[in-house]
Amino acid sequence: MLAATPDFSESPVRVHNGIPRQEGFGYPVVRPERITSPFGPRWKSTEERYDFHRGIDFYGQIGEPIFAVAEGEVFRVYGEGNRVYPNGGNTLIIRHDVVTPFNFHGKAIGKIYSLYLHLDKILVEAGEQVCKGQHVAAMGQSGSTRFTHLHFEIRLGTTCSLEYQRQHSRKVCAAYGFDPHVHPLLFIDGPHQGRIAISHQPGPPYVVTYSASRADLHLNEIATDKGLLNFNTREGIDATSTAAMDDFDFGWVCLRPERFSGRNKLLVYRLEFSEPPAFVQFTDIFGDGLRREFH
């Protein structure tokens, strides 16, 4: 934690987060600490641009086992070159029943989907029942990626992105009206040390820097008197198209994630404000956070 300086004060906060933490899920990989990209805004090194990453990337070796994160039914299997997930290569989707349904964007969520992309081999078929921890695939480098990893996602209620729903308004999934990908660590858990720090530089531009240890890749919401960004609900974020979602200039703030890889010890976001904020509050997916008041 950075030492407090006289011109701001800090207090821990706890807010209702919307999605209850889900119990009973396991890891999809043997080494879940090997994360190269967290969920949410990032600098996409392989394409030298910012993008909103709607999953988590776990790196490893070709052929490493991939496990079903919970009991469920294989919903879809797509091969390399498929048109539904053209960048995902060999893609596996498993559907799971939610033990205690909850509301998200006003809709009752009774099922969720886990998605596994860039696979080398898929060992199960659509319609098959799988158990939690079952070896269902092998890690690979299929689709558009330059390194061996699993891109893992959790989607709530539907697999259809909001962009797809808008383009196919007569499909059943268009009734959802939200982008279904949420932070996978709500489900598969993982380490949580709460080691985050906030620092700031007086402007202009007024820069607030958020940094978290790589055991704390859980940031969900940035709230200030100027505006609010929620990565799970996409509040404050235009999720109607991928291009809009990948633009981190929100007018009141420019969000600048720094490059992150398997080697970084810290995840760092720079927030460049056009006007100085009165406060900034960072809250994680579990509802824990830190608030800074600026005087």
Residue 103's SS3 state is strand
Q: Which residue is nearest to Zn ion (CB)?
A: 151
By C-beta, is 52 or 178 nearer to Zn ion?
52
**Closer Cβ to Zn ion, 151 or 292, answer by number:** 151
Please pick, from the candidates 42, 54, 151, 234, the single residue that binds Zn ion as defined by CB under 5 A: 151
Which residues neighbour 231 within 8 Å (Cβ) at sequence distance 6 or greater? 39, 40, 41, 52, 183, 219, 220, 221, 237
CA distances 189 to 107, 211, 292, Å, are 24, 20, 27
Contact region for Zn ion (CB under 5 A) — 44-52, 106-114, 150-158, 279-287? 150-158
Shortest Cβ 232–Zn ion spacing (Å)? 17
**Which tokens hold the place of 155?**
């989607």
**Residue 57 touching Zn ion (CB under 5 A):** yes
**Element at 188 (helix H, strand E):** helix 185-188
Stretch that binds Zn ion, among 74-82, 147-155, 172-180, 254-262 (CB under 5 A): 147-155
Indicate the length of the chain as a whole number: 295
- Count CB atoms within 10 A of the CB of residue 65: 16
271 within 8 A of 219, measured Cβ to Cβ: no
Only one of the segments 5-13, 57-65, 225-233, 239-247 lies at the binding site for Zn ion (rule: CB under 5 A); that segment is 57-65
The answer to whether residue 42 forms part of the interface with Zn ion (CB under 5 A) is no
Q: Which is nearer to Zn ion, 151 or 200 (CB)?
A: 151
Instruction: For Zn ion, give the closer residue by CB, 50 or 102.
Output: 50
Number of residues that bind Zn ion (CB under 5 A): 3
**Residues of the shown chain interacting with Zn ion in the complex, contacts defined by CB under 5 A:** 55, 57, 151
